[in-house]
Amino acid sequence: MSAFSLSGRRALVTGANAGIGQAIAVALARAGAEVVCTGRRSCDETVAMIVDAGGRAHDQRADFADPMAGAALFDGAPVDILVNNAGIIRRADSTDFTEADWDAVMDVNLKAVFFTSQAFARAVIARGGAGKIVNIASLLSFQGGIRVPSYTAAKHGVAGLTKILANEWAGQGINVNAIAPGYIATANTEALRADPDRSRAILERIPAGRWGRPEDIAESAVFLAAPASDYVSGAVLNVDGGWMAR
């Protein structure tokens, strides 16, 4: 069997209804996994894409605005792979940023990541199994950005969580890693792409010379979910067209 095969594995992808999450769910299914597509909105489109291609997928609703929403996701059939992709963003000058926007982003992008990972790990350890966690970090896990203070804080936190959970769980058969996407053409970057000055400045720094596509992230997630990455632990993999190398 290929070291990149996910045949016989069951994966749960949060925020799988669109964008990066949808692309990851489709790629995991293509590699052979059965995929549980989870989000606060229907993932029917993603499930249909997978099923139409001959794969197996299910829709399971969960709103990660409640950071504990993931606690009950692992009570049924065993899950071998968790992709923590669900996320939101709020933009405003730091002098104007509200507590409500701060809390909303931190709850979804950081607190839910921890408690969903905790529930997954408890289930894996209880059955004496092995598992893979792939967190979606960001370039703002390393940089400050502008006008997104809670997003930046949360994504720095995701990088840190990835490392501490890797330290604690690698010896128990759970690999924890993260992907830090560059500037990807999704709903979260729509405002940037619509601003000619910001879009031009971003593209001028990216050596690849283009915005990334969700599919650019998906195959990296397959690698981190597959046996090929069994000795990779605590890594934050930049998939950014070379942005961080500049």
CB 114 within 8 A of CB 122: no
Strands (E), 79-157: 81-84, 131-136
Nearest C-alpha neighbor of 59 from the set 15, 9, 19: 15
Query: Active-site residue 183, yes or no?
Result: no
Give the CA dihedral 44, 7, 81, 215, nearest 10 degrees. Answer: -60
Question: Rounded to an integer, what distance in angstroms lies between the CA atom of residue 130 and that of residue 142?
Answer: 30
Question: Rounded to an integer, what distance in angstroms lies between the CA atom of residue 62 and that of residue 122?
Answer: 19
Question: Rounded to an integer, what distance in angstroms lies between the CA atom of residue 89 and that of residue 50?
Answer: 28
Q: Name the catalytic one among 151, 183, 211, 243.
A: 151
Question: Rounded to an integer, what distance in angstroms lies between the CA atom of residue 211 and that of residue 102?
Answer: 27
- Give the catalytic positions in this structure: 151
